[in-house]
Structure 1
Amino acid sequence: MDKESKSHKEKPLIGITMGDINGIGPEVIIKALENSRITQHMTPIIYGSTKVLSFYRKQLNLDNFNFSPLNDISKPYHRKVNVVNCWEEQVEINPGQDNAIGGKYALKSLEAATNDLKGGHISALVTAPINKLNIQSDTFKFAGHTEYLAEKAGQSESLMFMISDTMRVGVLTGHIPLKDVPAAITKEALVKKLKMMTKSLKQDFGITKPKIAVLGLNPHAGEEGLLGSEEKEIIRPAIDEFKSKGQIVMGPYPADGFFGAGDHSKFDAILAMYHDQGLIPFKSLTFSTGVNFTAGLPFVRTSPDHGTAYAIAGKNQADEGSMRTAIFAALDIVKCRKENKED
C-alpha cells in the first residue's frame, strides 16, 4: 500500500444524516461541506438523496458544492463528499412545511446511517435536525435521536452532553415533561450520569482529572430545605459519594447565580437537573457554535444545537456554524478515543 492510499485509509469516515428534507438540514450540510478542504481531514458521507441535495444546491445557488454518489460503503471516495442514496423514488420537497414526508425520509436516512455506524463502516455520525413529531412511526417511537441511538446501542440510557469550546453541559433528565422531573431525580440516576460524564471527559476530551459542577433543582438550591428537599436528601449525598473517592464534583449550585456569575468557566462540565435548566444558558452563551453530543454510547454521535427552523428553510438564511462545529467535534472525539485506547 502506497503512502497516499494509507493516508486515505486512516482518514475517519464521518456519516451525516440529512434530517427533515423540508427543514434547514440539507442547507446547513451543503454550506458546511461546500469548502472542499474539509476532505483533507475526513471523508464525509451524507445519508439521504442526491436528488434532494441537487434541489437545494440549485434553490440556494450553492454551485460550488459537489458530491459523488456512493454505492459501496467499503469503497468511499476519499477526496470528495459522498452521498448514500437511502431511497430512489422522486420525493416532493416543500421547504418550510411540516409534513409526513419530511418525517418519513428523515427516518430512512437515520436508519441507513445507524446501520452503517453499528456495523463499523463509518467512524462517527452527525445528525441533522428532525421534527420529533412527524418522524414518529411504528419503527420510531422515541423522544429524539438520543433515545433512538441509545436503544440501537442496546443501552437503556445515555447522556445528552452539550459541548462547545467554552462550556460543556449535561442533563440528568432529558426529553421528559417538567412535571415528571422531580420523581426522576434519584441518587442512583445522579451517580449513573456523573459516571458517564466523568468517563466521557476522560476518553472523549482527554481531561485526566475532570472538575464537575452539579446544579440544584430548586430556586437557590433549596435554601437548606426551605424551598425543597431534593438538594439535601438526594443531590448532595450523590456528590459526597464522588468526593469520597477523590473526584472533583462540586455543588449543588443555584442555577441562576452559577451562570450569571460566570462560574461555569471554572469547571470542565456541568450537570443540570433538567433539559431547559441546562440548555437555555448553554444556547444563550454558545448559539451557532454549540454541539449536542450523545455521551455514554459505544459510538460517536453529534448534532447541531438547533432544530429544523422551518421558518427560514429554503431561503438561504440558515447559519451552518453549528453543523460545521458538530462535524469537526465528531472528528475530534473519534481521534481522542483512538489516542486514549492506544494509551
Structure 2
Amino acid sequence: MQQRRLGDRKVGAIGFGAMSFGGMFGATDAATSLACLDAAAEAGIGHFDTANIYGMGVSEQIIGRWGRRDVHLATKCGIVNGPPRAVRNDEPHIRQCLEESLRRLNREHVELYYIHRRQPDIPVEDLAGTMAKLVQEGKIGGYGLSEVAPQTLRRAHAEHPVTAVQSEFSLWTRLPQLGLIQACRALGVAFVAFSPLGRGMFGRAPLKRDFRAGIDFRDTNPRFVEPNFSANLAAIAPFRDLCARRGWTVPGAALAWVLAQGDHIIPIPGTRSADHLRDWQLPKIDAADLAEIDRILPPGFAHGDRYGDHQMAFVERYC
C-alpha cells in the first residue's frame, strides 16, 4: 500500500475507523472484530482510529485486547454523552479521559489524541496548551482536532503544531474542500477523512433501509430518511454502473477519489467484517476518470444534511 505522512511517521494511505466495533451500525462481537483488525494489518493498514464514546469504551477495549504495538493508534475525547449531549475541553477532563482510554487500550502512550469536538467557551490556545503538556509528558505523540473551522486550526497550530485534523469527507460530503483541506496542506497537517464511504452508501451493494431504531443513528439521519434515502440511492446508481463497466469495486473507487483530492489526505473507512476489506482495493484512476466521477456525482448532489440538528451543535461551521 502507498504511504502517506501522519505526524512524524508514514502510514498506509488508507487507515481504519473502528467506530463500528462499538455496535453503532449493527451487531458485532469481539472475535469478529479481532479478526477484522488482523486482516486490516495484513492488508498494509497501519493507522487505526477509535474514540472513547464508540460503544462507550467497547471499541477501545477491543483494540486493547488486540495488543498490537507496531501500529499507529489514535483515539479521542471531548464528547460527553447525555442527555443532554455536551462537550468538555477542560484540562482535568481531558487528562481523566486519556487515562481511561489508555487503560482500555492497554497502553501507556497513544500516537495521536484528538479533541472530538471543540468547546466554544475555552480558547483554542488554552486547549492547544493542554495538549502540548501531554506531548511533553510522553502521554501522546501528537494531537488532532475534529470538525473544526480553518481559523481554529490556524490558531491552535500557532500555539502548538497540530498533527491532524479529522472531518467527514467523501463523494457526498465535500465541505472540507471549501477551506479546511487547503489550510491543512499549507500548514503541513494531515487531513483524516472519516466516513469516506458515506456510512455504507458507497458499499459493495446498494444499502437497504433496515437500520436498528435507537441504535443506528442512520435511522434518523436526514440523508437516510425518506424521501432523501431513495433519492440518494438513485443519484449514486450511475456511479455504481460506471464502476461495474470499469471493473472497479464501488468502495475502492470512492476511496481512490478521496485520495486523489490531496496527497496529505488519509481516509479511514470502517467495517465490522474482514470480508469487506477486499472491496477497498484501489483502482488506477486518471484525470479523465475523476472528471467523469465528478460529472456523475457533482458537488452538492446529496439529498439531506449529513447530520441532524442535535449532532451539528458542536460542529464548527465556516461556510
* TM-score normalized by the length of structure 2: 0.32
* TM-score normalized by the length of structure 1: 0.30
Question: RCO (CA 8 Å, sep 6+): is it higher in 1 or 2?
Answer: 1
From the CA coordinates, give the structure whose radius of gyration is larger.
Answer: 1
